Amino acid sequence: MKLNLIDTHAHVFMDHYDGDREKVIARAGDEKTGMINMGLDIPSSKKSVEIAENHEGVYAGVGFHPHEAKDFGASALRSLLDLSVSDSVVAVGEIGLDYYRDNSPREQQRKAFRAQLDLAVELGLPVSVHNRSSTEDTLGILKNRDELPSGVMHSFFGDYELAGEILDLGFYLGLSGPLTFDGESDLRDTVGRLPLDRLLLETDSPFLTPEPYRGKRNEPAFVSHIGEELASIKGIGVEEVGEKTTENARRLFSLDER
């Protein structure tokens, strides 16, 4: 399938889709939209791989979200390694830090984050990094490594200075639903100054639903609305945004090798 868009961060394995998962995946396929489902723990990573192995244009990330880091350990790391042998696995994610909810102790979050960065280096896979109210530690961990995997900062919300620091690491920036929100003019101004060849589109489904569907369950087919907003911000055609961001996703996640 020739993909026009790629939703580089979704969670279609979640129970939000238990009643119509196949229809959600089909709707994305009808729009020629691919997706990468990012795992949150071992069970969800397994589901992500299973879904990807059974659907064209669907890929998987395997990882431990910082909310679940309290349960991360050697056994979990071995399970992630075992899951990564699937050709459908294109990333280690979703990983990172979240000091906003603090669902896991911060030191355990940092330990899990570092271990999964090591895993990504070992496997030669990029990472999808979650950062919420934890920028100083997130950047500190990424910057103070002997070897850093490639990756994307998931659902980027920061200012131009922060974007520059992330780009300097060689990372991409993932743009999600808030880019379309009325109250996010600062984010749109920042994105307007960023290089298109370092931007990715993502939904974070079922969360962060873009306009005009805000308030409803999100799904990968809605990524087109984020692409349309990006095109408006950049003053270019929607097709060009699709071509460039899809090319970026293919490059980062080595999709042409799958």
Q: Report which of residues 159 and 1 the model is more confident about.
A: 159
What residues form DSSP beta bridges with 6? 34
Asked whether the CA dihedral 109, 103, 131, 250 is positive or negative, the reply is positive
Domain count of the fold of the chain: 1
pLDDT at 2: 86
Q: What percentage of the chain reaches a pLDDT higher than 90?
A: 98
| Tokens standing for residue 148 | 């850093």
> Coil, helix or strand for 102?
coil
How far is Cα 141 from Cα 115, in angstroms, rounded to an integer?
11
Contact 12, 37 (CB under 8 A): yes
**CATH code of residue 99:** 3.20.20.140
User: Could you tell me which residues come within 8 angstroms of residue 8 by beta carbon, excluding any fewer than 6 positions away?
Assistant: 35, 36, 128, 152, 174, 200, 201, 202, 249, 253
Residue whose tokens read 């997706």: 35
- Domain span holding position 58: 5-257
> Coil, helix or strand for 237?
coil
Q: What's the whole-number mean pLDDT along residues 79-84? A: 98
Q: pLDDT (tens digit, 9 = 90+) per residue, 3-37?
A: 999 999 999 999 999 999 999 999 999 999 999 99
The pair phi, psi for residue 98, each rounded to 5°, is -140, 100
Residue type, 138: T
pLDDT at 257: 75
Q: What's the whole-number mean pLDDT along residues 226-239? A: 98
Whether pLDDT at 181 is above 90: yes
Q: What's the whole-number mean pLDDT along residues 220-233? A: 98
pLDDT at 6: 98
Q: What's the whole-number mean pLDDT along residues 201-218? A: 98
| Tokens standing for residue 258 | 């799958």
> Coil, helix or strand for 43?
helix
pLDDT at 226: 98
pLDDT at 44: 98
Whether pLDDT at 203 is above 90: yes
Q: How far apart are the first and last CA of the chain?
A: 12
How far is Cα 84 from Cα 61, in angstroms, rounded to an integer?
9
Whether pLDDT at 220 is above 90: yes
pLDDT at 132: 98
Whether pLDDT at 144 is above 80: yes
Whether pLDDT at 258 is above 90: no
**pLDDT tier at 1, thresholds 50, 70, 90:** confident
DSSP 257: G
Q: What's the whole-number mean pLDDT along residues 132-150? A: 98
Q: pLDDT (tens digit, 9 = 90+) per residue, 234-245?
A: 999 999 999 999
Q: pLDDT (tens digit, 9 = 90+) per residue, 32-60?
A: 999 999 999 999 999 999 999 999 999 99
pLDDT at 178: 98
| Tokens standing for residue 159 | 């200012």
Whether pLDDT at 150 is above 80: yes
